[in-house]
Amino acid sequence: MNLVKSSVLSDLLSAERGGPVPAVPNGRGFGSGLIQRTVEGQFHGSIVHRWEPHGLDILISLPADML
Angle at Cα 60 formed by Cα 65 and Cα 53, nearest 5°? 160
Q: Give the Cα separation of 24 and 19 in Å (integer).
A: 14
Separation in Å, CA 45 to CA 3, 11, 49, 50, 65: 14, 10, 14, 17, 11
What is the model's pLDDT at position 1? Answer: 84
Residues 24-59: tens digit of each pLDDT: 888 889 999 999 999 999 999 999 999 999 999 999
Cβ(36)–Cβ(62) below 8 Å? no
* Kind plus residue range of the DSSP H or E element containing 62: strand 55-63
Q: Which pLDDT band, with edges at 50, 70 and 90, does 5 fall under?
A: confident
* Residue 53 vs residue 66, higher pLDDT: 53
Q: Which pLDDT band, with edges at 50, 70 and 90, does 11 fall under?
A: very high
What is the model's pLDDT at position 57? Answer: 94
